[in-house]
A and B are shown apart, each in its own frame.
Chain A
Amino acid sequence: MMKFLKNRVVFASALFGLLDFMQGFVIASPILIYLRIIYENTESSLHLWPLPSFEIFSDFMINHNDLFVLYIITAAVLYILFFIIKSFFTGGIYRLIIYGRQNPLIIKTAKDFLKSSSEIWIGFLKVGIFGVLIYGLALFLGMIFGDFFGRFSGFLKFVIIALFLLLGSTYLQILKIYIASTSDISLKAAMKETRGKISKAFMRILIGNISVSAAAFAAVLILWFILKALKSSEWSVILMILTIAVQQLMVFAVCLGQSLRINFNYSVIKEGGENALGGDELG
């Protein structure tokens, strides 16, 4: 168990999860503070489980719509600020995953981590901003192809959109891997240098990423059913704790999938192998 927890991929996933939690906390906090003030002593607070009742939502939207607009602006600003910070730490976590393999630089302390993060921060910021374009394009193409194939099945539409988003995400990961492994923060160079490798190993990258994502999706789905079962009962403190635990496991499952994909993509781009599970460290 300890070996599992010490595994760099697992550890990196936990760090990703922590980062995501912080993001959720920071972005949601302003509205949650306000909601706590207006709902804590009201009947509405008893109707927030399993989801806020429609009346709570509608009455909030009608009677506090100015606040809602203000919150959206605040959340957008907080998102941008947190994106800058997140890009910094994400770089360190990427290096944590890929340096465990063949790179002589080993991250042992928090100081090492911060130092390695700072070296590639700007590069990660560039990829992050570029990501808006990539995800936009992926969504656009996904919608077009999804609409076409969606005629046969609604589920197929969802799958095709998800597939295009996955492709976009994979490309962004590869750019980040390049920056993390070379310390070259030029986005242009990253795109140029990775182009040939991607085209050469496209099918391997595609199948590997789909496999890992499908496994993560299956894990999230199982956890979702557990969450659904928990939430379908009357509220209690114990249920609340269990629910939080399952929710965090869902996030961890997604983060683990992301870390495994990073590891796998690094293998393909840098090594030509497909050791997605982090060598023999996972046993």
Chain B
Amino acid sequence: MIGSILLSISILSAVPDISPEVPAAYEINAYLDDSAHTVTGALKVDFVNPTSRNLDTIAFHLYPNAFKDTSSVYCREDGRARSAVERGNVSKIEISNVIINSGKIEESKYGINGTRLYVDLDKPLRPESKINIELDFEILIPEIIGHFGYDSDGDYLIAHCFPILCGYQKSRLIDWEYHANSEFFSNFSYYDVMIELPKDFKAVSTGELLRESETDSTAVWHARADTVIDFALVCGADFVEFESKIDGINLKYLLKERNADFYPLVDSTVKNSLRYCGDLLYHYPYGSFSIADAVFRTAGLELPGLIVIGVMDANENIRRNILKKTIAHETAHQWFYATIATNEFEEPWFDEGFASYFEIKIASHYEFDKFPFLFSNYLSSDKSVRRFYSIADGARYPINLKSWDYPNRQDYYSAVYSRAWMVLQALENVMGVSAFADALKMFAGDYRFRHPDQRDFLESISELSPADLTEFTEMFIDGTARVDYSIESVKFEKSVPDGDSGDLEYIVYVEVARKYDGILPQAVTLGFEDGTEIYKIWDGEDRIARIIFETKSIPVYASIDKKTSYTIDENMNNNTIYLKGHVTRMISFEWDAIFIIEFLASIFL
């Protein structure tokens, strides 16, 4: 093992300049033992204190310890992980030989607490002062559990594995335990990684990865990544490699052999997603982007400059669309997570909500948000399912809780992914589509390669918002406001015509209601026989309001939010009233319903 490490030691080109903005530079030498499922190696990190205070302790993440035994926070929170560990599928990371500024320190000076390592400093590290820490590590890789491991094909997802520093956000150390719902947070850093893999392995990673040398049985790979929040690698023998390029970005794909036919679909979706997010936010800032296919327990995983997707059997329409949406979602994370590096521990809605928002935008723009089901003109939409999923949950929790404050995964996903998307969409409508797009672009530009929090976001977009967002924030981001607006009734009466025109005029009274506590401005529309529409904006504040229109003819319908701009509205069925009912349409549906029961009855005669 030592020999292998020595073999793989590289001569670094130049030590990058670390600063409070990019406070760490890592040099990692590692060896993957495929038969023992271990990664062993040595890590060196140059670190500059990015805070405004002295630091007495340096903290590292030791995520693999989440699955060391069932007493971990993760296992206590997640039954599936707990049973995996009970079955003996464990992971752990062991640390030894800790050296600070070339001086080996005693074991009593550092200690492991769950998924964190704390190293006590002999003397405080002053703001903007540098320190060098070295350590050896040995990681036992489990069969896929949480966010890393090897899959049933023997391919590896080596993510969140290495002992990297806990990050600081606005001078505050973010050293939370690894929770079952939580994802990650760390500061932007430089990585120089040499890793020795079995010779037949193919690999993709964060940053630029090159196969540098080979022995009889192994190959040494060298990765360099600038200004990234983490380093991850996917490798295995069961992959087919593809390469492509878009707008100066080198794309590298590792697809399972059985899924190689899906390369064109994956490639086009990645390119579309990169371009779409790039246009709306800023150009993807790295020179390479990698996509790996893994038999993974969730659909996808975002990593810096690398996404992992489960291609599965994407032959059916529904799976193909799910795959495309997963790619769009994880690619959007290259902005909201990887480069606008929000705190996934404490504000998981921030990156997941935006990734969901962009996923749905991309799907709609490239027309893969809907797919035919059963009949060619019956279009099913994942967006509708997602909306249902969240609304059915009843907005029980605000979207901005810490990830572990949600009592279970369903509430977490419902709030952080689905409701957050609906809240962002509502915000877009409150501000106006154009103003929201401008505000978002400005925010993204300002906070690129930074660690903004929710307050930064709201302050930033408020600058371009025509509406005051305080109440909106209280209701929908900090609160659990629910929304349902309805048309209660439509009445009209003839009015005396003005002047000599002789045109018969009508006064139309539309009674609208707000059924829940959520308040959103609404467009109340009247539609006429010739297809024309008129509308009035209602501030949506009163519980019941009467909107009065003067018209030349009797309307066909009255509608509130006719364009269904607010997916957060929990009942779309009460948004429109037609003055004349659609009797034949209903009869048609009723025959369909009767037929289903009739047909089943005829089979089981």
Choice from A21, A35, A63, A234 contacting B594 with Cβ under 8 Å: A21
Q: Is the CB of B604 within 8 A of A169?
A: yes
Contact at A40–B586, with CB atoms within 8 Å?
Answer: yes
Q: Are B590 and A20 in contact (CB under 8 A)?
A: no
Indicate with 1 or 0, residue by residue over B422-451, a CB within 8 angstroms of chain A CB atoms: 000000000000000000000000000000
Of the 9-residue stretches B77-85, B258-266, B499-507, B570-578, which lies at the interface with chain A? B570-578
Please report which residues of chain A, range 221-238, place their CB below 8 angstroms from some CB of chain B when the two chains form the complex.
228, 231-235, 237
Q: Does A59 contact B375, Cβ atoms closer than 8 Å?
A: no
Residues on the B chain within 8 Å of A35, using CB: 586, 589-590
Cβ of B14 under 8 Å from chain A? no
Whether, in the assembled complex, B583 has its beta carbon less than 8 Å from a beta carbon of chain A, the answer is yes
Interface residues of A in 22-44 (CB under 8 A from B): 23-25, 27-28, 31-32, 35-36, 38-44
Contacts A62-B391, A232-B375 given; does A39 touch B602 at CB 8 Å = no
List of B residues within 8 angstroms of A250 by Cβ: 595, 599
Within the complex, which residue of A24, A32, A53, A234 is in contact with B601, where a contact is CB–CB below 8 Å?
A24
Q: Does A118 contact B (CB under 8 A)?
A: no
In the complex, B455 has a CB within 8 A of chain A: no
A27 and B594 CA atoms in complex are apart in Å by 8
| Interface members, chain B 567-605 (any A CB < 8 Å) | 570-599, 601-605
A105: Cβ under 8 A from any B Cβ? no
Give the distance in Å from the alpha carbon of A17 to the alpha carbon of B603 in the complex: 11
Determine the chain A residues whose CB is within 8 A of the CB of B484 once the complex forms.
63
Contacts of B571 in A (CB 8 A): 59, 62-63
Question: Which of A177-185, A200-208, A239-247 lies at the interface with chain B?
Answer: A239-247
B597, A23: Cβ atoms under 8 Å? yes
Chain B residues with Cβ below 8 Å from A16 are: 602, 605
| Interface residues in B530-582 (C-beta closer than 8 Å to A) | 557, 559, 562, 570-582
Q: Which residues of B contact A237 (CB under 8 A)?
A: 584
The one of B570, B578, B581, B590 that contacts A62, using a Cβ cutoff of 8 Å: B570
Bound state CA distance, A26 and B100, in angstroms? Answer: 81
Residues of B close to A81: CB separation below 8 A: none
**Residue from A23, A46, A54, A61 within 8 A of B392 (CB atoms):** A61
Q: How far is the CB of A261 from chain B (nearest CB, A)?
A: 9
Say yes or no: B589 contacts A48, CB within 8 Å: yes
> In the bound complex, do residue A20 and residue B601 qualify as a contact, i.e. CB atoms below 8 Å apart?
yes
Per the 8 Å Cβ criterion, residues 450-499 of B in contact with A are 484
How many Cβ-Cβ contacts under 8 Å join chain A to chain B? 170
> Smallest distance from the beta carbon of A49 to chain B beta carbons, Å?
6
Closest to A232 in B: B376
Question: B595's contact among A41, A90, A251, by CB below 8 Å, is which?
Answer: A251
Report how far A40 CA is from B578 CA in the complex, Å: 8
Cβ-defined contact, A54 with B581, below 8 A:
no
Query: Is B570 in contact with A49, judged by CB distance below 8 angstroms?
Result: no
- Cβ B581 vs Cβ A45 within 8 A: yes
CB pair B570–A63 under 8 Å, yes or no, is yes
A58 and B594 in contact, given A45-B582, A51-B374 (Cβ under 8 angstroms): no
Query: A54-B381, A234-B377 known; A36 and B590 CB under 8 Å?
Result: yes
The distance from the CB of B392 to the nearest CB of chain A, in whole angstroms, is 6
Contact status A43-B377, CB under 8 Å: no
B380 at the interface (CB under 8 A from A): yes
Complex CA–CA separation, A39 to B593 (angstroms): 15
CB of A54 within 8 A of CB of B594, answer no
Q: Which of B385, B582, B590, B602 contacts A251 (CB 8 A)?
A: B602
A56 interfacial contact with B, CB 8 Å: yes
Closest-CB distance, A54 to chain B (whole angstroms): 4
CA distance A28 to B597 in the complex (A): 8
Contact of A280 with B by CB under 8 A:
no
- Which residues on the B side are within 8 Å of A228 (C-beta)? 374-375
| A243, B588: Cβ atoms closer than 8 Å | yes
Q: Smallest Cβ distance from B336 to chain A, in angstroms?
A: 27
**Are A62's CB and B392's CB within 8 A?**
yes
Is B388 an interface position by the 8 A CB rule?
A: yes
Residue contacts A-B, CB under 8 angstroms, 22 given: A23-B598, A24-B596, A24-B597, A31-B593, A35-B589, A43-B559, A43-B575, A44-B572, A44-B576, A46-B582, A51-B378, A54-B380, A55-B384, A58-B391, A59-B570, A59-B573, A62-B570, A63-B573, A228-B374, A235-B585, A240-B591, A258-B605
Query: 4 new A-B pairs (CB below 8 Å) besides A42-B578, A243-B592, A247-B591?
Result: A41-B577, A48-B592, A54-B380, A54-B385
Instruction: Name the 7 nearest CB pairs between A and B, nearest first.
Output: A24-B598, A58-B388, A24-B597, A43-B576, A40-B581, A24-B594, A48-B589
